[in-house]
Structure 1
Amino acid sequence: MQKCFLVVVIFLSTFVANSQEDIVFYEASTEKKDSLKKKQFIKQLGNGFLPTKFLNFDLRYLIKFNQYEGIRTGIGGVTNDAFSKKYRINSYLVYGFKDHRFKYRIGGGFRVSSKTNTWINLSYTDDLYETGSSKFLTDKRFFQFFEPRLLNIDLFHKHITKAINIEHQLSNNLLTETELSISKIDPTYDYTFALKDKNFSNFDLSIAKLALQWNPFTTYTIDNNKKLVEQEGFPKFTLQVTQSFKNLLKGDFNFFKADFRTLYKLNYNKNSFTEATLTAGIATGNTPLTHLYHAYPNNITKETILQRFSVAGINSFETMYFNEFFSDRFTTLQLKHYIKPFKISKRFNPQLVLISRHALGDMHDIERHQNIEFGTLTKGYSEAGFELNKILFGFGLSFAYRYGAYHLPKEEDNVALKFTFNLSL
């Protein structure tokens, strides 16, 4: 393990040394070139990268906080086209001050076809993953300067994963990604997955995944041999299927998962629009809790509203408590209506967002999951609320109310009052 740390540190340190002089923009010969370079820099920064000559530093790894690791800080990056257009290295190294443990990823890839942008990637990862969360392979970049849900998550599992991954652009509107991986899973909490023949507190998984990202109404343009979005179109569709194999490369379980998401946006004018996000997932077979579904909760278990005061997420249920529900099949619908910003002054333009969220789910064989208590969403979960964003320096306020079948007896337990944070470059 120490050798792996040393490899990552040497790799990143080398690029830091070689790239320090390139962080500052080179003086452009014309005002147009300088302006273009500045726009490219800001775009990279908005995507979570600090570009240098050979390496783009990944800002996601600089500093974070959660309930298990406490402060998590480190360094990471991916090589850019100046390093190579055919090869890339993508690695990181972080440290958790509460669990006193290093986590890292050593990875890289090579392009086998520029026409279809086909890449083969290899990686070795030793890190944490949130139990019950699902991520699509095709969601390559999702960067926030501040990740609000992460602050309150306490249910993680350790994983050591070796993976090979293939990215392939079938067409301008259809991206595919396939991954084969083997993982050692060790929950950080007291959990036993009980089957008839054996009880598991940790386990091995051999998994194959296939993801499809289809954006049929988005148009693209080619600039300097790079595909750029000309006009974003909706709806967008994402599908991912997962198969775990028992007795293949020491895998302990057979299970199958299918995950689906569609996004729709209806524009009324430049600043007024409605967004709808529909997600669904199903898991069959012997699926441990680590690979089942929560419903994006974002409320901590505290006594009063002010004690629960934190930061609202982007697509999370603000009144649903962490670890309150898990499902092996579920669906959620989230609706957001953005009202045109209030033009109070030149720099003070708060925006009101009306929100409605719903979730439905269930679970077979709930008794298999031992030493942990949770409910299901068979009756349907609902909350409604609003956000008043960009009141001051990107900060705003959020209010949400839990109603319907899972309305709680104590009235204030149904209320979530939080900050919002929205900053765009």
Structure 2
Amino acid sequence: MLCFKLLNSQSSYKAFKESIQDSVKKETFVKHLGNGYLPSKYFNFDLRYLIKFNQYEGIRTGIGGTTNENFSKNFKINGYSVYGFRDDEFKFSIGGAIRLAPKTNTWLSLSYTDDLQETGSTKFLTDGRFFQFFEPRLLNIDLFHSHITKSIGIEHLLFDKLSTKTEFSISSINPTYQYSFNTNGMLLNNFRLSVAKIAFQWNPFSDFNQTENGLKETKQGYPKFTLQYSKSFKNVFKSDFNFSKIDFRTIHKIIIDKDNYSELTLVSGLANGDTPITHMYHAYPNNITKETVMQRFSVAGLNSFETMYFNEFFSDKFTTIQAKHFFKPFKISERLNPQLVLISRFAIGNMEFPEKHENISFKTLEKGYTESGFEINKLLFGFGLSFTYRYGGYHLPEFTDNLALKFTFNVTL
């Protein structure tokens, strides 16, 4: 009897242990999926490259990914290859990184990329990986420049709450649209850039724990601050321009409870010197140029100006402020819990020498741009509705031209 009980106890413990392991595996799988990866033993497939759509490439599809910790904890290889059906072009990237110091999460990385980038967009080096199952703003972008970029970078944790990344890159840039930059009477249609960047990410109110894989953020605290400096060197590796850029962002949350909070985001940038339109600022527009409200009906972005038309404004100095308040979801039924979000956005900017940019027309933001509205999210299968109205310095004569009515899409794993 004692032997039977012992065997039964061992069997129950084994079943319990297997159940725990299965649960951990499922949780890890869902976490990878939420970050945009489909994991395998040594390689994680990147879901960002499976299929997308934009106005220049049409359908863009391909495959990509990165080696995981089972392959190596101190070395990784990543890359992707995609094809655009409308422009009939392949794009690709290949890169690798080696960990120099686990405690300070220090990585040395190299990459070679031949792809497109949205003109006027700015990326912070220290930004973590961002993944959406559906990227609504991407659908309507039509202003891209192609680039072949070779880069080397170092990522390093200076202190527990301050991380940094430094990069030096050499790029050959060719706008896919009619454009010339007039510098001292010489017109440049395509150009080369040699750019050094350094970025800092400071999260003074977050909590971190040291793990075998480096320092991990265990509790997000606010505000968070990001600062980046870029410098282009003329005549270094045949670079055509000499300019500098300073970019700053702060994100703050005022939390009442888990589902009832306010979010404030300030982004500012300044470009100084001969800067081509590719590296100016566009203030993140998300409205297509069509005649009626319903023809402009699309999907709202997360932090974009929904009433600002694509390619309407460019600046060499700008500031945007976005304020959102998320109300606690309304519990209409077990499956229907829509959430009301109030939104207000403001942008101001200017450009010192707009006449240097030829064959492209745009306005600047010196009057100040304002829009406000609301979203009702998660009405059905993650979809909701967004309503935004444009007013202030750039209010348009036709009432309907100031309106933006769109879907929203929010899914959380």
Q: TM-score, normalised by structure 1?
A: 0.92
Aligned partner of 2:268: which letter? A
Match of 2:297 in 1: 309
How do 1:163-312 residues align onto structure 2 when only pairs under 5 Å count? 163-312=151-300
Query: Alpha-carbon deviation of 1:222?
Result: 3.5
Counterpart for residue 382 of structure 1: 370
1:42–1:28 CA distance, 2 compared to 1 (3 A): farther
Structure 1: which 5+ runs fail to align? Answer: 1-26
- 35-44 vs 290-299, which moves further: 35-44
User: Residue by residue, what CA displacement relative to the aligned partner does 1:158-191 show, whole Å, maximum 9, x if unpaired?
Assistant: 0000000111111221110000000000000000
The residue type equivalent to 1:324 in the other structure is E
Residue of structure 1 aligned with 2:349, choices 345, 361, 365: 361
AA at the equivalent of 1:313: G
Query: CA 1:75/1:173 → structure 2, altered by over 3 Å: closer, same or farther?
Result: same
The answer to whether the 8 A contact 1:28-1:34 is kept is no
Conservation of the 8 A alpha-carbon contact between 2:192 and 2:239: yes
| Corresponding residue for residue 148 of structure 2 | 160
Corresponding residue SS for 1:129 = strand
Deviation at 1:291, TM superposition (A): 0.2
Q: Within 5 Å, which residues of 2 pair with 1:313-324?
A: 313-324=301-312
Aligned to 2:79: 91
Amino acid at match of 2:117: Y
Q: What is aligned with 2:11?
A: none
Question: In the alignment, what sits opposite 1:13?
Answer: none
Amino acid at match of 2:165: E
2:237 match: secondary structure: coil
Q: Distance in 1 between matches of 2:306 and 2:359?
A: 26
- 1:398 and 1:418 in contact (8 A); partners too: yes
For residues 104 and 245 of structure 1, the distance between their equivalents in structure 2, rounded to whole angstroms, comes to 26
Distance of 1:28 and 1:145 partners within structure 2? 34
Deviations 1:349-400 (A, max 9, x none): 0000000000000001100000010000000000000000000000000000
In the aligned structure 1, how far is the partner of 2:114 from the partner of 2:138? 19
Q: Do residues 394 (structure 1) and 382 (structure 2) align?
A: yes
How much identity, in percent, do the aligned residues show? 65
Distance of 1:177 and 1:276 partners within structure 2? 25
CA distance in 2, matches of 1:330, 1:340: 33
Shift of 1:197: 4.2
Q: CA deviation at 1:229?
A: 2.4
Match of 1:3 in 2: none
Measure, in 1, the Cα distance between the counterparts of 2:217 and 2:405. Answer: 37
Matched with 2:12 is none
Q: Is 1:305–1:412's contact at 8 Å kept on the other side of the alignment?
A: yes
Secondary structure class of the residue paired with 1:352: strand
Alpha-carbon distance between aligned partners in 1 of 2:38 and 2:360, rounded to the nearest angstrom: 42
CA deviations 1:60-94 (Å, max 9, x no partner) are 10000000000000000010110011110010000
Secondary structure of 1:38's counterpart equals helix
Displacement, 1:274? 0.3
* Distance in 1 (alpha carbons) for counterparts of 2:16 and 2:40: 16
Superposition pairs of residues 76-115 of structure 1, within 5 angstroms: 76-115=64-103
Q: CA deviation at 1:115?
A: 1.2
TM-fit CA distance, 1:140: 2.9
Preserved CA contact (<8 Å) 1:305 1:416? yes
**Contact 2:118/2:144 (8 A) holds in 1:** yes
Alignment partner of 1:30: what SS? Answer: helix
Q: Structure 1, residues 298-337: CA drift from partner, whole Å, max 9, x if none?
A: 0000000000000000000000000000000000000000
* Deviation of the 1:230 alpha carbon: 2.1
Look up the SS of the partner of 1:345 in the other structure.
coil
1:414 maps to amino acid: N
Q: Give the Cα–Cα distance (whole angstroms) in 1 for the partners of residues 229 and 134 of structure 2.
A: 30
Instruction: Give CA-to-partner distance per residue, 1:241-294, whole Å, 9 cap, x none.
Output: 000000001000100000000000111011100000000000000000000000
Asked if the contact 1:93–1:103 (Cα under 8 Å) also holds between the matched residues in 2, the reply is: yes
Separation (CA, whole Å) in 1 of partners of 2:348 and 2:150: 34
Tell me, yes or no, if the aligned pair for 2:232 and 2:244 is still in contact at 8 Å.
yes
CA distance in 2, matches of 1:54, 1:225: 17
**Superposition deviation, residue 226 in structure 1:** 4.6
Unaligned runs of 5+ in 2: 1-14
Kindly state the Cα deviation for residue 228 of structure 1 after the two structures are TM-superposed: 3.0
1:415 to 2:403 alignment: yes
What is the letter of the counterpart of residue 312 of structure 2? E
1:28, distance to aligned residue in structure 2 (A): 9.2
Of the three residues 97, 120, 136, the one matched with 1:148 is 136
Q: Which residue of 2 aligns with 1:9?
A: none
Which residue type is aligned with residue 406 of structure 2? K
CA distance, structure 2, for counterparts of residue 176 and residue 79 of structure 1: 23
Range with greater deviation from structure 2 (37-46 or 218-227): 218-227
